[in-house]
Amino acid sequence: MMVEGFPGVTVVDHPLVQHKLTIMRDAETSTRGFRQLLREIAALICYEATRDLPLETVEIRTPLTTMQAPKIAGKKLVFASILRAGNGLLEGMLDLVPSARVAHVGIYRDPETLQAVEYYFKAPDDLSERTVIAVDPMLATANSAVAAVERLKSRGARDLRFVCLLAAPEGIRHFRSVHPDVPVFTAAIDSHLNDHGYIVPGLGDAGDRMYGTK
């Protein structure tokens, strides 16, 4: 669903996504449950984010005859996981597209300044020839996503999408003002950011909830 006031943003409003997201938001949900649900939701959002991938026709032989059949055109997709929490989405996306290539972008958000700090980067060499889907559950100030996409672009990526679970209106506006060419897919757009840059009502710190580090 496209949302008025947020061009380039698709909210995946499928009932299964919304149901699972509600359980993830619940503070009582266990680490194990949170991780499992993130993986399940990721596959469903990935389904929407890949809906318009171009197809080509190839000839195959079924047990009965030959036929012209559709296949995704071009090189394998790249999923770019923004560490740490991106890995939770990555797993579910790989369930759906097991042959995708994977880039890792290590970025954390400085808790005082909320600026993105990069500590690791590893990606396939030929990003310019592939569709690259950057993944991170949370788009809060968008400082992390903006920096990650800048880095992927500097390494040649031109056809990019961004997949998250929750987005703040402030983050979407920031992200789309810097990267208007990159469509965003999310399960929900929440109310606002609090003074510490957390999404409200949100679900807390995605990395901590997924890995049980707090």
Contacts of 67 (CB under 8 A, 6+ apart): 59, 60
**Spatial CB neighbours of 7, under 8 Å, sequence gap ≥ 6:** 176
Residue 75 Cβ vs ligand PRP, minimum distance, rounded to whole Å: 27
Residue 114 binding partner per list ligand PRP, ligand URA, none, with a CB distance cut-off of 5 to 8 Å that depends on partner kind: ligand PRP
Residue of 134, 139, 130, 72 whose CA lies nearest to 103? 134
Of 24, 85, 134, 166, the residue at the interface with ligand PRP (CB under 6 A) is 85
Q: Which does 82 bind (CB under 5 to 8 A by kind): ligand URA, ligand PRP, none?
A: ligand PRP
48 binds, among ligand URA, ligand PRP, none (CB under 5 to 8 A by kind): none
Q: Round to whole Å and give the CA distance between 207 and 107.
A: 12
- 8 A C-beta contact, residue 186 and residue 61: no
In Å, what is the CA distance from 110 to each residue of 6, 20, 64, 88, 170? Answer: 27, 29, 60, 21, 18
Q: How far is CA 59 from CA 62, 94, 97, 157, 159, in A?
A: 10, 26, 22, 30, 27
Q: Is 205 a catalytic residue?
A: yes
Q: Of the listed 110, 113, 126, 213, which one is catalytic? A: 113
Residues 144-203 that bind ligand URA (CB under 6 A): 197-199, 202
Q: How far is the CB of 65 from ligand URA (least distance, A)?
A: 52
Instruction: Just list the catalytic residues.
Output: 109, 113, 205, 208
Binding site for ligand URA (CB under 6 A): 138, 140, 197-199, 202, 205-207
Binding site for ligand PRP (CB under 6 A): 82-85, 108-109, 114, 116, 136-145, 171, 197, 205-207
